[in-house]
Amino acid sequence: MKILIINQHPQDVIGGSEIQCDLVATYLHRFGHEVLYGAVNSRRDNYKIEYDLVPLNNPFVVSYIKLIKDLRPHIVYWRFGKKHLFTAALISKFYKAKFIFTVSAYSSTERWIAEGTRVFPYKLPLKRNGWKLKNIVKVALFLKRPIISAWNYNGFYFVDACVTVNSDFLGKLPIKLQIAIHNSMQTKYKPFAWNKPYVVWVANIKTKKNPEKFIKLAERFNESDVDFLMIGSIQAARYAYIRNSDQVPRNFHYLGPKSPEEVNGILKSSLFLIHTCDPECFCGNFIQAWSQGKPTISLYFDPESIIKNNQLGYVSGSLDQMVRDVEKLIEDRQLCTEIGERAKSFAKQHFDPESNIRELERFLIGISNE
């Protein structure tokens, strides 16, 4: 079966969906399929990968038409959100390729998205001085993203099937055939050493991840013997200050972006993972922490209520409660270990790459044969 995977590549941009696409491509290649990774906005000449890759650079539509026409894939596995979705789905339909959309972000399920995952609020940014040119430009720029988002949402009517990584998202899109298949994670790690006990926060650093909550949490433990380590690429200028040790608590340390293997090693030697992000689809760092035998304390988000139902940590709901939850696991190391062992067992059962991608393979074969 010829399978075309569309997304940015993790060797260009480290992100959850990119890491998952690399795993899907690697395992489907090992299973004997002809896999080609269409790397959007490719930045490298060479990639250290097992499967084939082709750059998909601007103009995207021209590159995509040529790729579909030349490869004639049986399946397009699209994991690039709604960007270019309407055009890509139509082109795929014209060349008789089955088009599979993967939901890995809340923003993918909403028609009107204004910024990040924020639903369009229907309030225009006008000041009292009326319709001056600069305000007209401001309104036009403000409307651009939700209009494009709504336009690309129409692409779902040409999608053959949908895979969601969180069963809570089933039925949220106008696609008849849908299935939930969890993300997976490799457990390989690079050893990591730190001179004090520590907890970890992992995500790309931007507004919806709420990194400032983790910094406030660290400040509440400034007199403890536990350090608070932050990992991720700074993607919003407002958070540039975290690089300056004079502007953060003395027990807070920013480590910068790290590879999945490095993150696994840092988690393996940690006490537990802290998560402060807004609700999203499914966080890969949860899976990484559980796979390394570590509890998770989440401020807001519990995908499929897994943390609560399986006692893999705590869902705090407020910063004050999170302080109490962190205190509990710092002070009771035996409890921390017991939760971690339960998390590791759960991860082995639900997030094994070979098992989950075998399930995806069966689904793709079924779609291809229709």
Each domain of the chain, given as residue ranges in start order, spans 2-184+353-368, 198-350
Q: Strand 118-119 vs strand 113-115: parallel, antiparallel, or unpaired? A: antiparallel
* pLDDT at position 106: 84
Task: For residues 72 and 62, give the distance between their C-alpha atoms in angstroms, rounded to a whole number.
Answer: 15
* pLDDT at position 134: 63
Q: Kindly write down the DSSP assignment for every residue of 44-87, as one continuous string.
A: -S----SSEEEEE-SSHHHHHHHHHHHH--SEEEE-STTTTHHH
Reference 21, options 1, 11, 301, 203; nearest CA is 11
Scored b (16 or more CB within 10 A) or e, 73-106 reads bbbbbbbbbbebbbbbbebbbeeebbbbbbbbbb
Helix axes 284-291, 260-268, angle to 10 degrees: 50
The separation between CA 337 and the C-alpha centre of its own chain, rounded to angstroms, equals: 27
DSSP letter at 209 equals G
Task: For residues 6 and 107, give the distance between their C-alpha atoms in angstroms, rounded to a whole number.
Answer: 18
59: cis peptide before it, omega within 30°? Answer: yes
Same fold, 2-184+353-368 and 198-350: yes
Mean pLDDT by 10 residues, the chain (370 residues): 97 92 98 98 94 94 95 97 96 97 90 62 52 64 83 96 96 96 95 98 94 98 96 95 96 96 98 94 94 97 96 98 98 98 97 97 94
* pLDDT at position 127: 53
* pLDDT at position 14: 87
Task: For residues 275 and 319, give the distance between their C-alpha atoms in angstroms, rounded to a whole number.
Answer: 11
Task: For residues 231 and 224, give the distance between their C-alpha atoms in angstroms, rounded to a whole number.
Answer: 21
Rg (CA), the chain: 22
| Cα separation values, 275 from 3, 190, 282, 285, Å | 34, 22, 12, 9
**Which residues 6+ apart lie within 8 Å of 103 measured at CB?**
109, 162, 163, 164, 165, 166, 169, 172, 173, 281
CATH code given to domain 198-350: 3.40.50.2000
- Residue with token string 């537990």: 272
The CATH architecture that domain 2-184+353-368 belongs to is 3-Layer(aba) Sandwich (3.40)
Reference 317, options 251, 168, 281, 307; nearest CA is 307
